[in-house]
Amino acid sequence: MNMISDFLQYPFIQRAFLASIMVGLLCPFVGSFVVLRRMSFFSDAISHSAFAGIAAGALLGIDLSLSSVAVAVLISLLIAFLSERTSLSHDTVIGVAFSGAIASGMLIVGMLRGFRAEVFTYLFGDILALSNTDLVMTLAVSVLAMTVLLIFMKPFLQITFNRDLASVEGVNVRLFEYLLFLIIAVVITVSLKIVGIILVTSLLIVPAASAKNIASSMMRLFVLAGLFGVAAGVLGLAGSIWLDTASGPTIVLVSIGIFFLTLFKQAKR
C-alpha cells in the first residue's frame, strides 16, 4: 500500500485513478442496456469500427479521437438503419459491419508509412498515458450519457423489453433506438484509451453481467453494475501498479473475478 500511496503523488497516476472511476461508472451503466438487449456483438462491431476510424485519422492527419468517434457513430447509425429497413436479422447486419470495419482498418493500417505508435495505443490501451484533455472528455461524456439515460430511463427500458408494446404506448421507438446506439458508440470510443479496442467490450459487459447475476430489481442492477465497475477499475489499476502488469488486462481480469464470485453466490442462492 505504501508503494501505491507513493505513486499517487504523480499526476499521471491521479489521472489514471480518476479515469478508472469515471469509466467504471459509465461503461457498466450503459453496458446494462447492452446485456439486457443482448447486444454484446454490436459493441464488438463498434469497437472495431472505431479502429477503422483511428487508422483513417492517422492516414489523413486528423485527430484520432475525433475520427474514431465519427466512424463509430456512423457505423452504429448504419447498423440501426439497415436493421430497421431490411429483412436481415440484427446479428447478420452487425456481422457485415463487423467484417467491413476489420477489413477497412487493416487495409488502411497497411497504407500507413512506418510504425505509428499512437494507432497501437488505441489497440491495446494505456490508462497511464491519459492527458488532462482525455480526462475532461471522459468526464463530459460520462455526465452527458448518464444524464440522458437517467432522464429517459423509462422509454429506454420499454424499447429494451418490448419494442412493439412501447410503440403502442406512444414511445418514439426509432428515436430512442438510434439514441441508444449513438450513446453506446460514443462511450466505447471514449473508453478505448483505457483498455484498448480488444478489451473495451469487457468494460461494458462483465460488470453489468455480474450485477445481473444477483440483482433483484432494475435499480439494483444499475447500482451494482456501477459498484462492480468502479471496484474493478480501482482494484485492477492498483493491482497493476503493485504487480507491475499491464493496466487494461488487469482491470478486466479483476472484473471477471467479480463475475465468478457473483455467479457462485447466485448458484448458492
User: Rounded distance, CA 134 to CA 72, Å?
Assistant: 18
- Per-residue cell: 57: 485519422
User: Rounded distance, CA 152 to CA 14, Å?
Assistant: 33
Average pLDDT over the chain reads 85
What pLDDT, on the 0 to 100 scale, is given for residue 117?
66
Please name which of 198, 183, 178, 182 lies closest in space to residue 142, comparing C-alpha atoms. 183
Question: In the predicted model, is pLDDT for residue 21 greater than 80?
Answer: yes
Specify whether the CB–CB gap between 236 and 247 falls below 8 A: yes
Amino acid residing at 262: T
What pLDDT, on the 0 to 100 scale, is given for residue 230?
93
Between 226 and 196, the more confident residue is 226
pLDDT band at 29 (very low <50, low <70, confident <90, very high): very high
Question: Which tens digit of pLDDT belongs to each residue from 54-112?
Answer: 888 888 888 888 888 888 888 888 888 888 787 777 788 888 888 888 888 888 877 87
Q: What is the CATH number of domain 13-264?
A: 1.10.3470.10
Q: Please, what is the angle between helix 11-36 and helix 132-151, to 10°?
A: 30
Q: Hey, how many other C-beta atoms are within 10 angstroms of the C-beta on 45?
A: 28
Q: What mean pLDDT comes out for the span 128-153?
A: 89
What pLDDT, on the 0 to 100 scale, is given for residue 68?
86
Please name which of 14, 8, 99, 83 lies closest in space to residue 49, comparing C-alpha atoms. 99
Question: In the predicted model, is pLDDT for residue 144 greater than 90?
Answer: yes
Backbone angles phi, psi at 202, to 5 degrees: -65, -35
- Per-residue cell: 34: 447492452
Residue ranges per structural domain of the chain: 13-264
User: Rounded distance, CA 44 to CA 158, Å?
Assistant: 24
Most confident segment among 3-7, 24-28, 49-53, 244-248: 24-28
What pLDDT, on the 0 to 100 scale, is given for residue 254?
93
pLDDT band at 2 (very low <50, low <70, confident <90, very high): low
| pTM for this entry | 0.86
